[in-house]
């Protein structure tokens, strides 16, 4: 065995079995030339590392831990994949799909909801997240009730519901729902009803400084 290699083949497999990812990544980085030239060691990283890591991600209960670790792994190997330093076949692509799946199912770390309308003289009112941090888990719903006394009119009232949300990586996004509400004379048990038309705009990534905090 080359004296520059810190672990034997058996020890590398033990590290893999023990999920010692940081030690394996550090070993690969410091001994890349040797790793790529040794068929047995290269085989560990090309054919066994990612499948075992995906199993590990599936077992994690903390989604934030999974994202942080998976992104670190992605940064380590993406350039090596693009330059064909390793022949990962489908193992790396399977890992990327798992990473995208995790990111898609992120919980919302913080949530703020603003309301703006000609009903309140085009001012903005914070409906959620004014004095507290609002967290949402996947599949959770939040109900916000706002009551107005409106006169019947053929001209619709203009409203905007502006949602700011922060993902687990602390990125902030903004999404706006534009609403047109036409008050009618139609009465049903519970009060008058109206017609609603709305448009959901595409969300956009924003700087935290663009979120109004004085409302």
Check residue 112 and give its pLDDT: 93
Check residue 180 and give its pLDDT: 94
User: String of b and e for 2-14 (b: at least 16 CB within 10 Å)?
Assistant: eeebebeeeebee
Mean pLDDT comparison of 5-9, 136-140, 190-194, 198-202, highest-scoring range: 198-202
Give percent of the chain above pLDDT 70.
86
CB atoms within 10 A of CB 163: 19
pLDDT grade for 7, boundaries at 50, 70 and 90: confident
> Which helix or strand (DSSP H or E) is residue 182 part of?
strand 172-188
Answer whether residue 22 shows pLDDT above 80: yes
CA angle 205, 115, 127 (to 5 degrees): 95
Check residue 64 and give its pLDDT: 64
User: String of b and e for 77-87 (b: at least 16 CB within 10 Å)?
Assistant: beebbeeeebe
Instruction: Tell me the pLDDT tens digit for each residue of 171-213.
Output: 899 999 999 999 887 766 666 678 899 999 988 999 888 887 7
Q: What is the mean pLDDT of residues 4-18?
A: 84
């Amino acid at each position: 065995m080359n004296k520059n290699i810190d672990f034997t083949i058996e020890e590398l497999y033990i590290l893999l079995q023990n999920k010692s990812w940081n030690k394996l990544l550090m070993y690969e980085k410091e001994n890349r030339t040797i790793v790529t030239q040794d068929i047995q060691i290269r085989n560990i990283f090309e054919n066994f590392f990612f499948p075992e890591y995906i199993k590990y991600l599936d077992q994690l209960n903390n989604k934030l831990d999974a994202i942080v670790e998976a992104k670190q792994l992605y940064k380590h190997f993406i350039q090596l994949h693009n330059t064909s330093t390793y022949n990962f076949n489908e193992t790396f692509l399977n890992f990327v799909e798992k990473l995208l799946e995790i990111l898609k199912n992120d919980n919302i770390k913080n949530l703020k909801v603003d309301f703006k309308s000609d009903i309140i003289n085009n001012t903005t009112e914070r409906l959620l997240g004014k004095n507290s941090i609002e967290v949402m888990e996947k599949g959770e719903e939040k109900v916000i009730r706002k009551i107005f006394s409106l006169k019947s009119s053929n001209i619709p009232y203009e409203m905007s519901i502006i949602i700011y949300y922060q993902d687990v990586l602390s990125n902030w996004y903004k999404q706006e729902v534009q609403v047109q509400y036409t008050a009618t004379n139609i009465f049903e048990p519970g009060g008058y009803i109206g017609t609603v038309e709305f448009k959901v705009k595409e969300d956009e990534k924003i700087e935290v400084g663009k979120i109004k905090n004085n409302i």
